[in-house]
Amino acid sequence: HPEQFKDSPLGRIPRGWEVEAGDDVCLRIEVGIVIRPTQYYVPRGIPMLRSANVREGGIELSDLKFMSERDHGLMAKSAVTPGDLVTVRTGYPGTTAVIPLTLTTANCVDIIISRPGPRVLSDFLATWVNSDIGKGQVLRVQGGLAQQHFNVGEMKKLLIAVPEIGEQQRILAGVTAADKRLRHERDEADKLRTLKQGLMDDLLTGRVRVPISPLQPGSAAGITGGQE
């Protein structure tokens, strides 16, 4: 049904969708602490998220750094709350995750912070930025060099195809179901690879003997007259 689609800067999209820039759909886009962040590190306190903690599947809470509550209050500009997005600037630029409800208080080091407005869901926006279309825009900005910086200004100009909220929810439900099935298939594949490796090891080391039965007539040995 071509009449249901329209041309856009992102190509053909449904007529009910709009193309918006990141700055149009977000209430704020900032960058985390970039000047000597190590000066704030303390053994325990408020979590400080870095690029290493941002994964497409969510926030990785291992290997966290911390800052004091006092410094967190002073550095409120780089603080995040549940529902905010954090995006990697260097290394794997564009990789984005949503701050979960369980992480009620945190600060950020050298990553981009975005707070979606009412017209876009946090999970939808993160899924868009992590998609091939979103990452393609990031890499074009970087000239294909993944070690360069992805900056706040570039996040503000990032183009996003925005459907209405109900359709965003339906898209997220489909993506979640596909991700769940993919994880299951990967787990099953890992189990089969482990089983195969174990069986091969048993056979090649001789821990398990393979019984040799007489070859049936018509086999290669039978044709040549040999038989064990």
- Output the pLDDT for position 142: 64
**Strands 79-80, 106-108: parallel, antiparallel or unpaired by DSSP?**
antiparallel
Q: How confident is the model at residue 199 (pLDDT cuts 50, 70, 90)?
A: confident
- In this predicted model, what pLDDT tens digit does every residue of 64-117 receive, in sequence order? 999 999 999 999 999 999 999 999 998 889 999 999 999 999 999 999 999 999
Tokens of 113: 């912070």
Q: Which residues contact 144 (CB under 8 A, 6 or more apart)?
A: none
pLDDT at 16 over 60: yes
Burial class (CB in 10 A: 0-12, 13-18, 19+), 52: middle
Task: Look at residues 186, 177, 189, 129 and name the one whose alpha carbon lies nearest to residue 155.
Answer: 129
Position of tokens 């995040």? Answer: 80
Q: How confident is the model at residue 198 (pLDDT cuts 50, 70, 90)?
A: confident
Give the pLDDT mean for 141-152: 69
Q: Is there a contact between 228 and 214 (Cβ–Cβ < 8 Å)?
A: yes
Q: Which residues contact 150 (CB under 8 A, 6 or more apart)?
A: 87, 88, 89, 90, 93, 94, 112, 138, 141, 142
